[in-house]
Structure 1
Amino acid sequence: MYKNLKYPLLLLTVTIICACNSGSDEDKSIASTHPKLEKQLNRDSANISMRSEEHADLYQRYRITTEEYENSGNYNVANMYRGKLAPADEASHTDAHAFKNALREGMAKGVNFAGKYTVVTVGCGTACQQHFIVDRESGKIVEKIEGSTGAKYSPNSRIFILNPPDSTINYNNCKDCAPQAYELVDGKLREIK
Structure 2
Amino acid sequence: MRYVLTLTALIALIASPASPQSQQDKGALKRFAVSEIYHGPPVFPDFRGRDRGFNLYRTRIRAGISSGPNFSGTYSLISFGCGTGCTQVYIADNRNGYVGNVPIGGEETPYLQMFYNINSSAIIAYWQYGGRCVRKVLALVDRNFNEYQQSEIGPEEACYNIGDASNLQSVQRALGGKEEPSNLPDIAPATPASAHSDREANLNQQAGFIAAVKHARTEYAQGQNDMAKGAARPMRAKNVCAALKGYSVSGWIGKISKLSSNSEGKGVLHIEISPQITLKTWNNALSDISDGTLIEAGSKVFRQASALREGADIQFSGSFIPSSIDCVKEGSLTLSGSIERPEYLFRFSDVSPI
In the superposition, the TM-score normalised over structure 1's length comes to: 0.56
Report the residue type matching 1:82 in the other structure. Answer: H
1:136 to 81, 94, 97: 94
The alpha-carbon deviation at position 93 of structure 1 amounts to 4.5
SS of 1:101's equivalent in the other structure is helix
Give the letter aligned to residue 44 of structure 2: P
In structure 2, list runs of 5 or more residues that go unmatched: 2-20, 150-354
Aligned amino acid, residue 36 of structure 2: N
Give the Cα separation in 2 of the matches to 1:155 and 1:127: 25
Say if 2:31 is the partner of 1:74: yes
Aligned to 1:179: 135
Aligned position for 2:54: 96
- 1:75-108: CA deviation from partner (whole Å, max 9, x where unpaired): 1111212233111333444651111121122222
Give the direction of change, closer, same or farther, for the CA distance of 1:101–1:137 in structure 2 (3 Å limit). same
Separation in structure 2 between the aligned mates of residue 131 and residue 110 of structure 1, nearest angstrom: 16
Closer/same/farther in 2, CA of residues 120 and 187 from structure 1, 3 Å limit: same
Aligned length: 124
For residue 122 of structure 1, report the CA deviation from its aligned partner.
1.7
Matches of residues 102-113 of structure 1 in structure 2 within 5 Å?
Answer: 102-113=60-71
Structure 2 equivalent of residue 160 of structure 1: 123
Distance change >3 Å, CA 89–CA 144, structure 1 → 2: farther
Deviation at 1:66, TM superposition (A): 2.4
Quote the Cα distance in structure 2 between the aligned partners of 1:155 and 1:92. Answer: 25
* Contact map agreement 2:72 2:118 (CA 8 A) in 1: yes
Identity fraction in percent: 25
Cα distance in 2 for partners of 1:69, 1:84 equals 29
Larger radius of gyration: 1
Structure 1 unmatched runs, 5+: 1-49, 51-61
C-alpha distance after superposition, 1:104-132 (max 9, x if no partner): 22222210000000011121111111111
Out of 80, 105, 115, which is 2:73 matched to? Answer: 115
Contact 2:42 2:65 in 1 (8 A): no
Q: Secondary structure at the match of 2:68?
A: coil
Between the aligned partners of 2:53 and 2:84, the Cα distance in structure 1 is 19
SS at match of 1:163: strand
Structure 2 match to 1:59: none
| CA shift digits 1:122-143 (9 cap, x unpaired) | 2111111111101111101132
Would the aligned equivalents of 2:102 and 2:145 in 1 still touch at CA under 8 Å? no
What TM-score comes out, normalization by structure 2 length? 0.32
Distance 2:90 2:121 in 1: 15
The equivalent residue for 2:41 is 84
Does the aligned pair in 2 maintain the 1:162–1:179 contact within 8 Å?
yes
Aligned to 1:191: 147
Aligned amino acid, residue 105 of structure 1: A
Aligned-pair CA distance for 1:63: 4.2
For 2:77, give the aligned amino acid. V
What letter is aligned with 1:142?
G
Q: Secondary structure at the match of 1:104?
A: helix
- Aligned residue identity for 2:124: I
Call closer, same or farther: CA 1:156–1:122 in 2, change over 3 Å: same
Native 8 Å contact 1:113 1:119 kept in 2: yes
**CA displacement, residues 17-51 of structure 1 (integer Å, 9 cap, x when unaligned):** xxxxxxxxxxxxxxxxxxxxxxxxxxxxxxxxx9x
Give distance in 2, aligned partners of 1:94 and 1:129.
21
User: The residue matched to 1:105 in structure 2 has which SS?
Assistant: helix
* 1:97 partner SS: helix
Judging by fraction of residues, say which structure has more strand: 2
Summarize the Cα distance change of 1:92–1:173 in structure 2 as closer, same or farther, 3 Å threshold: farther
| SS of equivalent to 2:139 | strand
